[in-house]
Structure 1
């Protein structure tokens, strides 16, 4: 009879790292030694089993390990090829058997358990994650981008096409995600949309966390994408990759057609797209190996992506500059240096460069409506050169101070520049325009406004984490901080001013010029000129910090409880370095539980609940807290320079520059920008799921996700609440009007709640204006996501790998979150939705990121040592459609329409009738099949591989987004563009690749 002394062989207590993994298990005897050795680098850790026979090695670099049990200095059992994945735990347990039942002192043999099956289940995790290894990514037909890989994870859907390269996680807006490279956050600091990238072949593992992440993660209410790069090993390796996507094998994209709306344009081509062309190349090389065997390693990778594109932007009728040629050059490189000072002290240095260069040239193009007749001119009429990106540097220390105490510390810095240079732009040239009714109006210059030439984004930050094993508890505490700074804005081109010619009507001599601040109309023909100056923007900063404490408590052999608490702090600064928004002591509890039902890691039931906070990015300051300088100074003139168009013989018509902006470019008082008691954007989440090893090679599982957005930040621009409050307080009409105008200038607040504002009384003094939710008149904020994910996975066994996910979900409410995909609005946390209450009437319904059904399947099959086939399938139901129009023009609405309404189709009414959000049908399903085949000839020793991937094999191009305005020009006025397609899914394309590794 045998007795398993390491009863149940369940997970030991261990913590997870955002850039490493762990190995844990039981040994059958206290005090025995476990030797854990990385087979690629030789890194070795020796762990002594505790009093209960458990051991745990945390913060291990990802890779392959051999785990050996030693007794009295002799190896008695081992497990080879133990794969440590990012943020994951691998169990390797050693069961002792004896001749006498229950006797652990006379040992006959050792049985290694825990990871013998390829279909192992990580019972140490309570979150929901999908981890992709470089080996998988090399074999799957998937786009070579972070977003393309993330879209393979359950609960992740492509965001609106007007936010390119982004995704929605679990019903959240595309700006609510966090991205990490080697533990450092690389999320876009200006808008939170997307992230920096790296050479695709430099990715070792990519983890997509779609729910339940622990207390070490924050600043995301969507998902987390966590990447670790490759590192050098004890063997030098070199290689290269060439890919080519020819335009000749790309299907023609669909033309965009005017929909049938009862207008003269019905059925005509709105935009020609079948003439568009796209072809791309990429070249990549890598090298990695030991500088000093077992101690110092280098890995370096570089790639250049080149794409050429022609695009017809012309609309029917007349000549335009609508033929455009694009050229993209994206050089990326990364280098990683790993220094194992000793086996207990590790240093890592990472450098990444990610720069995109874009050149676009404009040419004339004539396209006649209703025909295929067109003519392209070849004289360049305009264009731009853009350059975006920069360098990232990360340093990390890991110290295994004792068997039970681990310290990690990280510091990073990320700098990006944003350059935009117009074609033919002369900085000394003054832009001149003419609004007079003359036969030969004056026009000079091409660009009236330009982005700041010195725009940039910078981040700097670090973190420190301590893990301490205390019996059945693994305590983890840490502190992290990241400061982001962005310079953004636009200003008048040329020397900083422009000239605008205008005229007064006959007989208006001496009368005031509209908006002239005291300037009067001249005599003669009434012609005058204004010198206009405009600048808006600055340099803005967001400081984010947090500390956390987490206890992973192994209650018994089957139950693991994770108790975490995170405290977040956000502070937003305007261009003057003054705080305009601050949230302190935002407590975020995290609770997770994992039940190893049978005690053998074959069936796990898990649950987690938590709160997650999100800061406002720097873009909010650009629109809401920046100073805007716009002045006009008016002159009479005697003549116009025929070369430059500038006026000659100026005579002032007023007292100097005038601006309706009282402070002449000064930023608004930072205390007046936001509500005084502003809560941060935060969400509560609950997840319940299971994973089951159905056979030795197949896992199945399911999870239920419930997400509830509890608070958001947006801006409101309504005159009435402050005015009504002032009247109720007995203030004068003038004072009430002043406060109303202040609030109408848009202030950040928490929608659907009571808010207190500090508003200028006209003298520079701020008055506290407390407004209840009823005073403000908005409905309660609502965004609720519920989803059920099912999966079947067959881990790779040397022959084939496959996974299928099905998600049934519901994304319902009256606000998407930080964005408004209905109209592609990109002003993060400053959407149109909450500007005044009428916009929110009938706004509750299915939200833009609602995809009721989503099926994803991917895998590959090794036919023989030379041939491999692969496939990726996505089947996605369409997003809900809206019909928005003008606010009903009824007698009871006249005051609102005349004084407060936005004069456009922005309300949930069509033809005067309410049309609730998401009730106008749905876009069609988007179905996509990608296939791949690879050949690695024996004669090349399998070092050479040729592959062909075909994306969207059946060329199903379906509408991804449409124009949702139901009328234009007034209520019940048909709009020719209603339901016009804005974008289609990508047409069929083919990618050839040649890879060589040696």
Structure 2
């Protein structure tokens, strides 16, 4: 790209950034905003004052313009001064990460504050200083529209966001990316799940002052995300002591039951149309209590804010499938306790300190009982499961967070911010029998009548390893300097994430009973240390132990530079460059993946067409990187235990089903060499010079006002995923390389699976078995060197969208926003996850394990929703009554049929994992068809309408509020996800619904806010 020589002359920073380009937000610190404007020819300085806190700053006017950055969010009075005399004033609200235009075109029309009509909390219709795509929801808006009280529900109001697969918990997909590619911040510090990237720590919902959802074009200060950014600023104390209490209740009696699940009408299945799961009693009683207090410890100087909430959900968690005697019914109680404390200290007008503490503790207690579908009766108690700080797929990691932040306005032109934070989370997960002791996993596979099978008490197959925990610490330093027409910023950003995590079998061991003939057929006589028993036993038991547990870590560092250049009164350009370094460590503290100099150039431009913030055209382009999460190291790079051993037994525990009187008849066999002691050599875990996960993005859009109250706009977005990291487990490419180069690999130790960059040439370090390592430069042709001659496709994930919106600012007693998004999410890789099967292993999915799995993989991806309509708003009928509404309408998810391949394709025994399926009316009458991704139609459109009403009686001075919210008013329960795998043509589960829309429910609330 040719750079105009004038840019080289304007600033040395622009020279440094001219090596590349990309797209960004023009944000300040990710928890602050800015005020800027044009004073014309009047005024020598501008003063801003936050009346709520007493914070004040003055800045000199330069060439008729001014700008104040890194400001805490809130409402400010902006005053134009001429030689110290006030000549004009206006009120504006600073939003998180945004800029507000407070120009004084009419400054000469009044000479005193009393002569100016001041409108409190006024916002310009269009922020001409930004080129990103964002949605900002304030506490006031969140309180007035019907939305579930969690961060994800609010984020889903933003365009281009969709609910992720239900098997990942309550998380979202942004702009076609998988649900593990987002970043979440609270007061500038990341709270994303440090182990997997799925989910985040929660905070008390009413602690949110502003929630910003950035779905594209974010700035060089942001990284480690190829999806979206959710950025939250919490409330703070002010000069007025305020407090409040609240309670919300969703009674079980006012909830619809979720739909029962039936087997699909498969003509080849004996169970076609039969009941799979009775969910008629799957309803819960939900109640939430909360309170807050905030105010000045020292007026205008020192403020505190403290809030907390407790939530409890109890009821039936469901009955298992209609599968015979082993079916259970589960009752569950979920509890959450969250708190937040914040101290703001305005040391003086030039120095600010902020301290934040936050806690999120969640737990689940479930009790399971046998259930008989034939009689509809609940039977004896089986066992229980207790977990803390886990949630679905770890989507609610919980924990404690502490942040300290300093902001120094050292001069009118120089601002410095520094932040340090850390988190600590402990997790637990245990399955207990009726005796209260941990219950082992027991499977009775003997050829006996079900009524004669051994009793069991386990409720979970695998649980978290004891002592599981996550720790994060990080700091960042940002410096901003105003130089003429340039606002220059530079920063450093470091995060250290460590986790002790992994899984074990429930009770520590998996006992599998089998007939002696089954054990012989399975190869027991070839097991190491096999000793024939004295007499042939009728049954034996195989004990399997796993211990995929390790203390792993990831270190992430970044540096960035950016220059916002006010080219003219109407044109502004942004140049940014981010440089990131990632290092992943295994359980022995060894680096197994290291990436440096991950350059992410960014470029943005905005055109204030008429010069009055009424019409903005903007564009940006950029590159965004993502580190692989820590979980990859637990099974792929660290020591793990995976063993088998066979025994005869003399008895069985009547409660747990565990064998008694064990006598070994084989030695211990370590599967895949996983002995729990020996870790793979880090050189054999990943390709050499592994490229980071990264994506390029381009956005073009405009915003236009229509009179004083209306705004409309449109934007087009294109995202192209250029590189990912996943694993493959095929030794055929190494054999092809050996044949091509004449390399002897007879003694080489080829690892089971390697991390690599799919669709590219990769170089691997191979242990040759004699103490030496040799580089194998595998080409794309080598990867096709298997018996089928099939290679990997080029990586593809593309996202294209067109977003059109219409906004009515709050006027004439109502506010509303309507948005339509057309999008296309296409390719052969969802990203870090595999929603087709709900796989929860970021960056080590099944997809790329060997090439045949990728045949037919290109098509519409799981997060593709072609059409999306979102609307929300409220109407203040009178001072006492307010009505709110929100609606989300989306087209359905693409459907797949993933089954067994033609003969010879399944070289590693993956079974129903290929884009081939059987079609017919019986097991003996079927045809195998090629079923490329997304070729089986779509799930139905979904419609979600929520309504709310709020009554704040005048007799209580409008301090007391009664609320009612009705969610899913139309009682729509349409399929959101289904089983997409097929074992054979008779498989009764293929196409069976996994999740429907959340049923209709009612939430009753009461809130009392008062001043002390």
TM over 0.5: yes
Post-superposition Cα deviations, 1:377-432, rounded to whole Å, max 9, x if no partner, equal 2x421111111122111110000000000000000111111111322376698888
Contact 1:405–1:468, Cα closer than 8 Å, also in 2: yes
Q: Secondary structure at the match of 1:78?
A: strand
Q: Secondary structure at the match of 2:737?
A: helix
* Counterpart among 133, 139, 143 of residue 134 in structure 1: 139
Post-superposition Cα deviations, 1:34-91, rounded to whole Å, max 9, x if no partner, equal 11000110100011112x12111111100011011122222111113x1010011111
How far the C-alpha of 1:503 sits from its partner, in A, is 7.9
1:282 pairs with 2:259: no
Contact 1:951–1:990, Cα closer than 8 Å, also in 2: yes
Output the CA distance in 2 between the equivalents of 1:642 and 1:810. 56
Moved more, 714-723 or 528-537: 528-537
1:459 pairs with 2:461: no
Q: Secondary structure at the match of 1:986?
A: coil
* Other-structure match for 1:703: 715
What count of residue pairs does the alignment treat as equivalent? Answer: 953
Q: Secondary structure at the match of 2:746?
A: helix
Output the CA distance in 2 between the equivalents of 1:413 and 1:980. 43
* Other-structure match for 2:251: 246
* Counterpart among 784, 799, 814 of residue 785 in structure 1: 799
1:473 pairs with 2:486: yes
Output the CA distance in 2 between the equivalents of 1:273 and 1:430. 28
* Other-structure match for 2:968: 952
* Counterpart among 873, 894, 899 of residue 885 in structure 1: 899
Output the CA distance in 2 between the equivalents of 1:838 and 1:781. 15
1:679 pairs with 2:691: yes
The alpha-carbon distance between structure 1 residues 626 and 340, as it changes in their structure 2 partners (threshold 3 A), is: same
Output the CA distance in 2 between the equivalents of 1:507 and 1:751. 39
* Counterpart among 297, 312, 318 of residue 312 in structure 1: 318
Moved more, 822-831 or 548-557: 822-831
Output the CA distance in 1 between the equivalents of 2:528 and 2:555. 40
* Counterpart among 748, 755, 780 of residue 762 in structure 2: 755
| TM value normalised by structure 2 | 0.89
How far the C-alpha of 1:215 sits from its partner, in A, is 0.3
How far the C-alpha of 1:689 sits from its partner, in A, is 0.2
Output the CA distance in 2 between the equivalents of 1:336 and 1:61. 14
How far the C-alpha of 1:311 sits from its partner, in A, is 2.9
Output the CA distance in 2 between the equivalents of 1:638 and 1:864. 79
Moved more, 694-703 or 268-277: 268-277
* Other-structure match for 1:102: none
* Other-structure match for 1:521: 532
* Counterpart among 621, 627, 632 of residue 633 in structure 2: 621
The alpha-carbon distance between structure 1 residues 442 and 698, as it changes in their structure 2 partners (threshold 3 A), is: closer
Output the CA distance in 2 between the equivalents of 1:267 and 1:429. 35
Contact 2:28–2:69, Cα closer than 8 Å, also in 1: yes
How far the C-alpha of 1:883 sits from its partner, in A, is 1.7
* Other-structure match for 2:870: 856
* Other-structure match for 1:10: none
Output the CA distance in 2 between the equivalents of 1:922 and 1:436. 41
* Other-structure match for 1:916: 932
Output the CA distance in 1 between the equivalents of 2:696 and 2:975. 33
* Other-structure match for 1:303: 309
Output the CA distance in 2 between the equivalents of 1:109 and 1:337. 35
Contact 2:89–2:118, Cα closer than 8 Å, also in 1: no
Moved more, 499-508 or 944-953: 499-508
Q: Secondary structure at the match of 1:839?
A: helix
The alpha-carbon distance between structure 1 residues 836 and 62, as it changes in their structure 2 partners (threshold 3 A), is: same
Moved more, 639-648 or 511-520: 639-648
The alpha-carbon distance between structure 1 residues 421 and 240, as it changes in their structure 2 partners (threshold 3 A), is: same
Q: Secondary structure at the match of 2:670?
A: coil
1:902 pairs with 2:907: no
1:338 pairs with 2:344: yes
Post-superposition Cα deviations, 1:222-257, rounded to whole Å, max 9, x if no partner, equal 000000000000000011111111111112211111
The alpha-carbon distance between structure 1 residues 747 and 246, as it changes in their structure 2 partners (threshold 3 A), is: same
* Counterpart among 753, 757, 775 of residue 746 in structure 1: 753
RMSD between aligned alpha carbons?
A: 3.0
* Other-structure match for 2:275: 269
Output the CA distance in 2 between the equivalents of 1:400 and 1:210. 30
* Counterpart among 229, 233, 243 of residue 234 in structure 2: 229
Contact 2:79–2:87, Cα closer than 8 Å, also in 1: yes
Q: Secondary structure at the match of 1:381?
A: strand
1:62 pairs with 2:73: yes
Contact 1:881–1:919, Cα closer than 8 Å, also in 2: yes
Output the CA distance in 2 between the equivalents of 1:778 and 1:296. 61
Output the CA distance in 1 between the equivalents of 2:519 and 2:355. 75
* Other-structure match for 1:383: 384
Which structure 1 segments of 5+ residues have no match?
Answer: 1-12, 100-105
Q: Secondary structure at the match of 1:319?
A: coil
The alpha-carbon distance between structure 1 residues 503 and 94, as it changes in their structure 2 partners (threshold 3 A), is: closer
Contact 1:702–1:789, Cα closer than 8 Å, also in 2: yes
Moved more, 160-169 or 346-355: 160-169
The alpha-carbon distance between structure 1 residues 680 and 667, as it changes in their structure 2 partners (threshold 3 A), is: same
Output the CA distance in 1 between the equivalents of 2:653 and 2:26. 78
The alpha-carbon distance between structure 1 residues 441 and 466, as it changes in their structure 2 partners (threshold 3 A), is: same
Q: Secondary structure at the match of 2:501?
A: strand
Moved more, 483-492 or 394-403: 483-492
Contact 1:385–1:420, Cα closer than 8 Å, also in 2: yes
Output the CA distance in 2 between the equivalents of 1:796 and 1:55. 28
The residue correspondences of 1:480-491 to structure 2 (distance < 5 A) are: 480-491=493-504
Output the CA distance in 1 between the equivalents of 2:723 and 2:993. 33
Moved more, 20-29 or 755-764: 755-764
* Other-structure match for 1:17: 29
Which structure 2 segments of 5+ residues have no match?
Answer: 1-24, 390-397, 784-790, 919-926
How far the C-alpha of 1:691 sits from its partner, in A, is 0.3
Contact 1:163–1:824, Cα closer than 8 Å, also in 2: yes
The residue correspondences of 1:642-657 to structure 2 (distance < 5 A) are: 657=668
Q: Secondary structure at the match of 1:280?
A: strand
* Counterpart among 778, 790, 807 of residue 771 in structure 1: 778
How far the C-alpha of 1:938 sits from its partner, in A, is 0.6
The residue correspondences of 1:605-616 to structure 2 (distance < 5 A) are: 605-616=617-628
Contact 1:866–1:936, Cα closer than 8 Å, also in 2: yes
Contact 1:96–1:107, Cα closer than 8 Å, also in 2: no
* Other-structure match for 1:8: none
Output the CA distance in 1 between the equivalents of 2:448 and 2:917. 42
* Other-structure match for 1:397: 406
Output the CA distance in 1 between the equivalents of 2:612 and 2:959. 39
How far the C-alpha of 1:186 sits from its partner, in A, is 0.5
Output the CA distance in 2 between the equivalents of 1:502 and 1:648. 16
Contact 1:15–1:552, Cα closer than 8 Å, also in 2: no
Q: Secondary structure at the match of 2:427?
A: strand
| TM value normalised by structure 1 | 0.90
How far the C-alpha of 1:592 sits from its partner, in A, is 0.6
How far the C-alpha of 1:486 sits from its partner, in A, is 1.2
The alpha-carbon distance between structure 1 residues 453 and 561, as it changes in their structure 2 partners (threshold 3 A), is: same
Q: Secondary structure at the match of 2:897?
A: coil
How far the C-alpha of 1:522 sits from its partner, in A, is 3.2
* Other-structure match for 1:374: 376
Moved more, 860-869 or 912-921: 912-921
Contact 2:971–2:1000, Cα closer than 8 Å, also in 1: yes
1:595 pairs with 2:607: yes
How far the C-alpha of 1:205 sits from its partner, in A, is 0.1
The alpha-carbon distance between structure 1 residues 719 and 313, as it changes in their structure 2 partners (threshold 3 A), is: farther
Contact 1:184–1:394, Cα closer than 8 Å, also in 2: yes
Contact 1:93–1:112, Cα closer than 8 Å, also in 2: no
How far the C-alpha of 1:946 sits from its partner, in A, is 0.7
* Counterpart among 983, 999, 1004 of residue 968 in structure 1: 983
* Other-structure match for 2:22: none
Moved more, 847-856 or 415-424: 415-424
Contact 2:382–2:457, Cα closer than 8 Å, also in 1: no
* Other-structure match for 2:6: none
